[in-house]
Structure 1
Amino acid sequence: MTAERDEILQAVSSAVLAVTRHLSVREVLQVIVRSARRLLDARYAALGVPDEDGSFAEFVAEGITDKQWEAIGPLPRQHGMLGAMLREGAPVRLADLRADPRFEYWPQAHPVMKDFLGVPITDGGEVLGIIFLANKRAGGFTEADQDLLQVFAAHAAMALANARLYERSRELAMLEERNRVARELHDAVTQKLFSLRLSAQAAGAMLKSEPDRAAAELERVQRLAGEALGELRAVIVELRPAELDRHGLAETLRKHVRMLDRLHPARVTYEADELPPLDSAAEVAVLRVAQEALHNALRHAEAARVTVRLSYEGGGLALTVEDDGTGFEQGASRGLGLISMKDRAESVGGRMTVSSAPGKGTTVRMEVCG
């Protein structure tokens, strides 16, 4: 048993370290729950990470089949023993969960749980979640079982803390990238466009009095415009996110939405159809429009819920970003954000529409032909 225990704990440690290699946090939590259930010989095991809406942002369980989950229904709320553990932040070990006054009820299809062992997952005094076991196969849970489950809880805390740091670093990296893009565009393109404008003005002024000099200035305009276009294209190619090459548009956007959902109070959800191979420029345009629309919804619209959808309709790709925020009067000036999104859509032969009204939220929709 000691050898098996060491082997399982080593596997859990490896899984936690894998978070730093961008393995899904949910997959790591599943490894932890599966290992805890096996090592402590319990029929059921689960781990929940609460959200701010009274439910759970993550909830993984072992011992319950997909069919049982479907019959049970939605994820549990933060009530009963789960809610009490989140509030109290202390371990709970019971011979019969149902006899404890903190227990409330289960859905009709929920399996009956008797002996119970739960441990909070904490980081610096903050309760990040809970991990619990039920129905030990041989006898009830012991103090030694509780000590061992606390080891698993510590591993889960490291996984969640690492995930938070990684997601915050990604957001900082995105902000730094936006600033770098602004500098690149200024250095590589803006100065040439300024020279182009001056040359065009000079040519216009000399067109009647000095046509030969005007022709020379127009040639300079043509050359500067070509150079500016070439440099702009180089910047755009460089700005193609590496994630698009590794994961494709649907997965890249899913990861971005999941990160924003964890970093912001609003609930951000994502839905996507199976997508065929897409044009590279179209992928970049759709991703950037989605990012800009999400930025507006989360930073300016005071939205509580934001939904992102990627669908393939009639041979074309459709992106929809819908929020329940403050909205705005159609036709009112909304700054450069909507203009840049519209330009991006049109640059790949697509179109973008915005539907909004005060107090009615906003829907941004971009369509690109396949």
Structure 2
Amino acid sequence: MTDPVPRLPSLLEAVLSVGTDLELRATLQRIVDGAAELTGARSAALGMVDPGHDGLLEIRTAGLSATDRSLVGRTDDSLGVPIRVDDEVFGNLCLAGKRGGPFTDEDEQLLHVLAAQAGIAIGNARLYETARQRERWIEGAAAVTNALLSGVAAADALMTVAERARLLADASAGVILQPTDEGGMEIVTASTLDDPGDLVGTTIEPGSPVLEQLLGGEPVFVEDSATDARMTTRVRHRFGPSMLLPLQTAGRLIGTLALPRHRGDRPYTSVERLLATQFASQAALALVLADTQHGRERLAVYEDRDRIARDLHDLVVQRLFATGMMLESTQRRSTDDDVSETLGTAVDELQSTIQEVRTAIFALQQPPADAPTTFRGKVLRETAGAAAVLGFQPSTRFLGAVESRLPEPVAGHLLAALRRALAEASRRPDVSRIEVTVDVTATLPDGRPGVRLTVYDNGAADDGSSTTTETWQSPL
């Protein structure tokens, strides 16, 4: 056996070299390069025992065969030693093709020393990489929480979670699934680098092997979505490694965050799985808090609108009604025909105003941001939409019990007629006033009870007249 002391400077240089970088991949490359240079090997490789731990398969120089890379031990042409990190075998450092002759005992001794120091360097690099990953995921979770609590809409909130998680996990897609009424789960949001295609709407049908775990709030980790028997969706063939993480907090399951990678991409490490699971829990809490905050804000607006509606009813409507009664009484006592006619017109105007105020009260009492479910609400939605084009709000009156007397098919036809009439009115020049009246107390020309829609505007008609009235009616 030759004395390794003459090569001590080269050994020290190699040992120092492997510890100069805290990035894991760079550290491993330095180990491989240092081992080849120290022993005079033409090629070297470091194969990982557990690729899923660090997401790395192999670091090598060129020219090492598959047989050589699997070697642990020594032959004349090859040399291999294990590298241990915390008493566990991290991988096998293998050398081949020594220049100038076979590998010697000295080479093996030097390689064992280098492997021991490499284990320490790898452990430090792992700690650094874990800390750096944890920092990124914590910052990502904080960014998501801030975004959600800033008042984004529900759909935007889910997209915020999916997109941030995709970037943090280096995934090909970030999707969110939510339970369906049929007992399955459906993709409702998808974030991808390119067009998500038909991802949204993809469902996991009831009875799927993975569904019980997801609905139970359990994380699911898949090595290859395309071949795993638990995966049954029609898009599974596109993806390889995947994480399906519950969006759950305080026993409430909001949905599932799925982070698939393309087929052939590296598997998720144990650290990535842990951090992604923690991120999903934090995101679920942020979603619940954002929803609660949004609910409080809506409640405050609703209470304010309800107060305004009560004030209008208790003060304005009652005063208008009392004034109308006074005018009607004065009209009956008046002996002057002109005065009586003027008072009659004033009474009619007051009744019309009362109807419009009551319509406004009804609109204020509707939950804000909700799609209208009543017929009155749907009519008001149509007039509000027209107001955005016209620049002013059409007035609306309802005569009779429109909610109870209008059957659904007739209501649908009336709304379609209203849309057409409002569209035509908006195209007429000089329109500054539109009046919409829905009367379910009308009598049709054939004597049958019916509903009549009247849309009046003061724009110029085709015949040159200054007012236009559109009428639609139907039997009840």
- 1:19 aligns with 148
Relative distance call for 1:48 and 1:74 in structure 2 (3 A) is closer
Q: Distance in 1 between matches of 2:154 and 2:200?
A: 23
Deviates more, 1:346-355 or 1:12-21: 346-355
2:370 to 239, 253, 256: 256
For 1:316, the aligned partner's letter is A
Kindly, what percent of the aligned residue pairs are identical?
A: 13
- 1:281 aligns with 393
Q: TM-score, normalised by structure 1?
A: 0.55
Which secondary structure state, in structure 1, belongs to the residue aligned with residue 329 of structure 2? helix
Deviates more, 1:116-125 or 1:40-49: 40-49
Q: Distance in 2 between matches of 1:32 and 1:78?
A: 24
- 1:267 aligns with none
- 1:362 aligns with none
1:173 to 290, 301, 318: 301
1:201 to 321, 329, 343: 329
- 1:263 aligns with none
- 1:154 aligns with 281
Q: TM-score, normalised by structure 2?
A: 0.45
Q: Which runs of 5+ in 2 are unaligned?
A: 1-128, 374-384, 409-414, 426-439, 443-450, 459-468
Q: Which runs of 5+ in 1 are unaligned?
A: 242-252, 261-272, 302-307, 319-330, 334-340, 357-370
Q: Distance in 1 between matches of 2:160 and 2:334?
A: 75
Q: Could you list the runs of 4 or more consecutive aligned residues of structure 1 that deviate by over 4 angstroms after TM superposition?
A: 1-5, 53-58, 97-101, 217-241, 273-276, 308-315, 341-356
Where relative contact order (Cα < 8 A, 6+ residues apart) is larger, the structure is: 1
Q: Distance in 1 between matches of 2:306 and 2:456?
A: 21
Q: State the aligned residue count.
A: 288
Which secondary structure state, in structure 2, belongs to the residue aligned with residue 130 of structure 1? strand
Q: How far did 1:237 drift?
A: 9.3
Q: Distance in 2 between matches of 1:110 and 1:23?
A: 31
Does the 8 Å contact 1:342/1:352 carry over to 2? yes
For 2:308, the aligned partner's letter is R
1:135 to 255, 261, 279: 261
For 2:389, the aligned partner's letter is P
Q: Distance in 2 between matches of 1:142 and 1:125?
A: 27
Does the 8 Å contact 1:48/1:129 carry over to 2? yes
Once the two structures are superposed, the pairs formed by residues 1-370 of structure 1 within 5 Å of their partners are 6=135, 9-54=138-183, 59-63=188-192, 65-66=194-195, 69-70=197-198, 74-79=201-206, 80=208, 83-97=211-225, 102-103=230-231, 105-107=232-234, 111-135=237-261, 139-169=266-296, 170=298, 173-174=301-302, 177-178=305-306, 180-204=308-332, 206-208=333-335, 256-257=370-371, 277-282=389-394, 316=423
Which secondary structure state, in structure 2, belongs to the residue aligned with residue 132 of structure 1? strand
Q: Distance in 2 between matches of 1:28 and 1:226?
A: 48
Higher percent of residues as helix = 1
Q: How far did 1:114 drift?
A: 3.3
Bigger radius of gyration, 1 or 2? Answer: 2
Q: How far did 1:18 drift?
A: 2.9
Q: Distance in 1 between matches of 2:172 and 2:156?
A: 20
Q: How far did 1:311 drift?
A: 11
For each residue in 1:104-157, what CA deviation from the matched residue of structure 2 results, as whole angstroms up to 9, or x when unmatched? x232x6543333322111132021100122237764223322221123212331
